[in-house]
Every structure is written in structure tokens, then in C-alpha cells.
């Protein structure tokens, strides 16, 4: 680890990069070949690939537990955030022989796909070396892919609304959830929105979590119609926060906590304290909840993993909430609407 850290901090000064821009390092007994470490991936910030890999190696103690056993969709930026990006669900065939994968059925492609599993530091460094700046994970852990470990609310502000209104909606949601005696944690998306997670880690299915998220979202929509919307139509979202309940789905992913985002600067999907959420809403200053990679490393050193309950806390959805969810049937999209939803999702992933 010391060798890796020293290399990543000053790759050129140490003469470590070979003529072919590759260097071999040992990470926890695994040999890894790193490439193009001096390539700038965030031009506005001058943030290089070496710094991307260094961030992942240093955040690993808190990040890996959240990635462990979760099928991972890579979002790769080989030429940096200003270049073309592509999603990669099938784990690259050139992965090391020790790299673990999870076989997942894809109804859209009518075949199984082998998703990457980041189980340890060497796996994470290997993924970072692919310039996979964004890490999008399932709410389930392999092999039990039909059981979500959390309920999620994806808060997406429609302009001119911003993360300040997201913070207010998050506070309203927390109040509703605490009324059901459920603990909830919050994080920024690292872009313009937020996500709230209710740790479960108990037997449950996606129908229950999706229905519960929809029921609570609709309750807030009725209470705050000028600020909250739960319907999928983009035309009605202006100036409001869309509570995306549909993320509670076996076949969808959400940006993982501590993931970098492909923004002009290396912002991170960052756990927040509820004091920070309240301050953002009260002072109407969204800048207070925007954090870049170096700041996140300092926060973790000072605050620890604010998202740790997502790994360890066991909660059950209460009967009253499940009954409310059953009374609010989940809308079933027709094939045309479903294709449109996929297109919206791709557009959402570009900006979320």
C-alpha cells in the first residue's frame, strides 16, 4: 500500500512510468498493471488518472464494504470527463483471473451477463485503472439478487429547483420515516440531486420497497404539491423535486456512495449529516453540500463512514407502511412508455 501511495502521488518524479506508460505494482499480494497515470481526466481541476486511482485506494476502507457482492455497472471515461463515456455491464474479459463476478440475467438482452464484483482493494484499484469514474451498483448483494438491502429515494430537482429544495424534501421524508420508526441516511448524488437510504438487511422484496417508496412519495406530493412530484412525466417537474421511487428495482442501479462523478470537477457522492442537510435547507446554500475527492477523504478521517448503517443496521418495513403501499398500486408501463422510460433513464444518468 505504501508503494502504491508513493507512486500515485508523484508518478513522473519517481520515474515509475515506463516508455509504454505502464507500471506494475503489488496491491495486497496482487500484481496490477496501471497505465497512463499522468493523463488528465478532469481538465478544469487538472485532476489526473493517478489522483483518481489514489482517491480510490485511500477511500477503499469505507467504500469496499458498500460495493462488496453488489453487481457493478462501470461508467468509463477513457479520455476524461470531456470525452465520450460508455457503460459496461459485462465485466471486461481481460480482467485478472482472481477478479470475482456475478452472473445476472438481462431480460433486455435475453442472456446472462457477468457483472464485476469489487470485493477488495486490488479489485477497486483495477476498476479505477479502467477510468471507471462512476460506480453504479445494485441494491442487492449477490447471489440473492431478488432481495434489496435498502429502500432508496432518489431526489431529482427539476430546474430551477436545486439541491437546496432536495434538502428540504429530504427533511420531510425523514420526518415521515421516523414516524414509522425507521432510520434513514442521506447522501448527495455528487451532481445535482440527493439520495436517501433506509437500511433494511432483512427479508424483503422489491415489490414491497418500490410500493413503500411510492406511497411515501405520494403522501409528500399531496402535502407539498408545489415542491414535490412523483409522476414520471418530465413536463410536470419544473421547479419541483421528483421523488424517483422506481429506483427500487432489481434491474436498476444507483450511483454508489463515495463514487466520483463525471462533472467538471471531481465531485463525490458524499454522505451527509442531518445537521448539514438542515443547514443547507435553512441557509439556502447548496454549495455547503458539494464535496470533491480530497475533501471527502478528510471528512472520512474526521467523521468516519456516515453510511455504515447501510451495511450493519437491520430494520423491517412496518405493517402500516406495507398496507399503505398495497393501496397505492405501482403503475405498469406499456411497451412504448417503457422504451421512453429507458431513454429518460439514460438522460438522467448523464446529469444525476
Strand partners, 109: none
Write the CA distances from 94 to 48, 88, 116, 129, 332, integer angstroms: 23, 13, 12, 13, 39
- Asked if residue 86 has pLDDT above 50, the reply is yes
**Does residue 175 lie within any of the structural domains?**
yes
Arithmetic mean of pLDDT over the chain: 91
Where is pLDDT greater, at 7 or 326? 326
Burial 264-290 (b: 16+ CB within 10 A, else e): eebbbbbbbeeebbbbbbeeeebebbb
Instruction: Report the share of the chain in percent with pLDDT over 70.
Output: 88
Instruction: Collapse the DSSP code of 35 into the 3-class scheme (helix H, G, I; strand E, B; otherwise coil) and give the result.
Output: strand
Q: Which of 106, 137, 168 is the last residue of a domain?
A: 137
Full residue range of the structural domain in which residue 25 is found: 2-137
- Asked if residue 202 has pLDDT above 70, the reply is yes
Render pLDDT for 129-164 as a digit per residue (tens, 0 to 9): 999 999 999 999 999 999 999 999 999 999 999 999
Which cell numbers in the block locate residue 76?
468509463
- Asked if residue 107 has pLDDT above 70, the reply is yes
Render pLDDT for 286-308 as a digit per residue (tens, 0 to 9): 999 999 999 999 999 999 999 99
| Lowest mean pLDDT across 9-23, 121-135, 174-188, 204-218 | 9-23
Strand ranges of the sheet holding 228-229, from the earlier edge strand across to the other edge? 228-229, 241-244, 150-157, 194-199, 185-188, 271-272
The pTM is what?
0.91
Looking at the fold, whether 52 and 105 belong to one and the same domain comes out as yes
Residues in CB range of 312: below 8 A, 6 or more apart: 199, 201
The CATH code of the domain that includes 192 is 3.30.70.3300
HSE at residue 152, side-chain half, CA atoms within 13 A, is 29
Total Cβ atoms within 10 A of residue 252: 18
Looking at the fold, whether 151 and 247 belong to one and the same domain comes out as yes
CA of residue 224 relative to chain centroid, distance: 27
As a whole number, mean pLDDT of residues 200-227 equals: 97
Count up the domains in the chain and report the number. Answer: 2
Amino acid at each position: 500500500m505504501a508503494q502504491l501511495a508513493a507512486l500515485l502521488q508523484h508518478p513522473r518524479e519517481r520515474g515509475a512510468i515506463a516508455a509504454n506508460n505502464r507500471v506494475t505494482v503489488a496491491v495486497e499480494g496482487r500484481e496490477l498493471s496501471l497505465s497512463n497515470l499522468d493523463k488528465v481526466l478532469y481538465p478544469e481541476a487538472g485532476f489526473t488518472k493517478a489522483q483518481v486511482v489514489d482517491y480510490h485506494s485511500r477511500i477503499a476502507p469505507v467504500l469496499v464494504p458498500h460495493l462488496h457482492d453488489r453487481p457493478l455497472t462501470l461508467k468509463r471515461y477513457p479520455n476524461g470527463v470531456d470525452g465520450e463515456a460508455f457503460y459496461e455491464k459485462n465485466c471486461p474479459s481481460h480482467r485478472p483471473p482472481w477478479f470475482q463476478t456475478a452472473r445476472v440475467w438481462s431480460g433486455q438482452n435475453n442472456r446472462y451477463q457477468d457483472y464485476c464484483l469489487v470485493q477488495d482493494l486490488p479489485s477497486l484499484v483495477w476498476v479505477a485503472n479502467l477510468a471507471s469514474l462512476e460506480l453504479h451498483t445494485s441494491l442487492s448483494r449477490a447471489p440473492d439478487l431478488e432481495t434489496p438491502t435498502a429502500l432508496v429515494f432518489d431526489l431529482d430537482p427539476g430546474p430551477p429547483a436545486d439541491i437546496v429544495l432536495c434538502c428540504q424534501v429530504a427533511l420531510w421524508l425523514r420526518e415521515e420515516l421516523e414516524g414509522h420508526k425507521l432510520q434513514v441516511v442521506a447522501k448527495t448524488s455528487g451532481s445535482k440531486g440527493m439520495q436517501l437510504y433506509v437500511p433494511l438487511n432483512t427479508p424483503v422484496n422489491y415489490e414491497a420497497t418500490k410500493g413503500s417508496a411510492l406511497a411515501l412519495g405520494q403522501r409528500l406530493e399531496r402535502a407539498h404539491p408545489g415542491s414535490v412530484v412523483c409522476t414520471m412525466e418530465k413536463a410536470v417537474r419544473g421547479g419541483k423535486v421528483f421523488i424517483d421511487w422506481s429506483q427500487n428495482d432489481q434491474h436498476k442501479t444507483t450511483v454508489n456512495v463515495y463514487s466520483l462523478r463525471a462533472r467538471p470537477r471531481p465531485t463525490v457522492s458524499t454522505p451527509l449529516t442531518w445537521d448539514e442537510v438542515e443547514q443547507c435547507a435553512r441557509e439556502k446554500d447548496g454549495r455547503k453540500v458539494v464535496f470533491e475527492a480530497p475533501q471527502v477523504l478528510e471528512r472520512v478521517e474526521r467523521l468516519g463512514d456516515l453510511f455504515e448503517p447501510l451495511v450493519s443496521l437491520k430494520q423491517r418495513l412496518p405493517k402500516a407502511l406495507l398496507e399503505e403501499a398495497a393501496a397505492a398500486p405501482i403503475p405498469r408501463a406499456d411497451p412504448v412508455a417503457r422504451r421512453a422510460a429507458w431513454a429518460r433513464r439514460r438522460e438522467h444518468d448523464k446529469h444525476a
